[in-house]
Amino acid sequence: MPIWLTSLITSMIAFTIFNNRGTLRSQNEKLKFTITTVGSLMIASLIGAFLYIYYMGHVLGFDFNQSIETAIYIAIAVMGFSFLILGCLVWLGLPAVPLLMLFVFFSIQASILPVQMLPEFYQNYILPWNPFYHYIATLKEILYEGINLTLNGTVWMFILFITFGVVSFTTAVYIKKFKANTTAKMI
């Protein structure tokens, strides 16, 4: 859940920056804005993941066997979810947030509980496509089984989320026109 909330907060900040960007006249300004926003999201994801591991390890006393790999995996997950949310926000706007929160509300329990405790419907139809389940399953493998971080299906899923978000954001910057604040015009 902290990963999802971190992703939601960072993508909402990026979306607010996108909405308040002003008029970008040249292609160079648009490219600079896109690179700066995407780079800022990636840096925020890395910083957030390493701070999360530091907090869990040093403050709460959780013993990480592979703290660097765990932090990198969490950073990839935060980037993936952030760009997925941002990609939805730039096209759907703020109505995407309640939809995404409903998705979290109904799917997070299915991904945290052991598979044996879930109804058969969840096991057969919800878990196979639920990104939270795959995220948590890979995190458990890294934490408890000592498996190294590899380009498995979950990491590729996050790479696809990142690609979707970057392509959607870049396309929106170049295609969507800036709408000046109507209340400012009235004054």
Q: What is the pLDDT of residues 16-62, one digit of tens each?
A: 989 888 777 888 988 999 999 999 999 999 999 999 999 998 888 88
- C-alpha–C-alpha distance, residues 1 and 9, integer Å: 12
- Give the Cβ contact number of residue 13 at 10 Å: 16
The first and second tokens of residue 61, run together, are 């006393």
Segments of the chain scoring below 50 in pLDDT:
182-187
What is the gyration radius of the CA atoms in the chain, in angstroms?
19
- C-alpha–C-alpha distance, residues 120 and 170, integer Å: 41
| pTM (two decimals) | 0.86
The domain ranges of the chain are 2-7+26-175
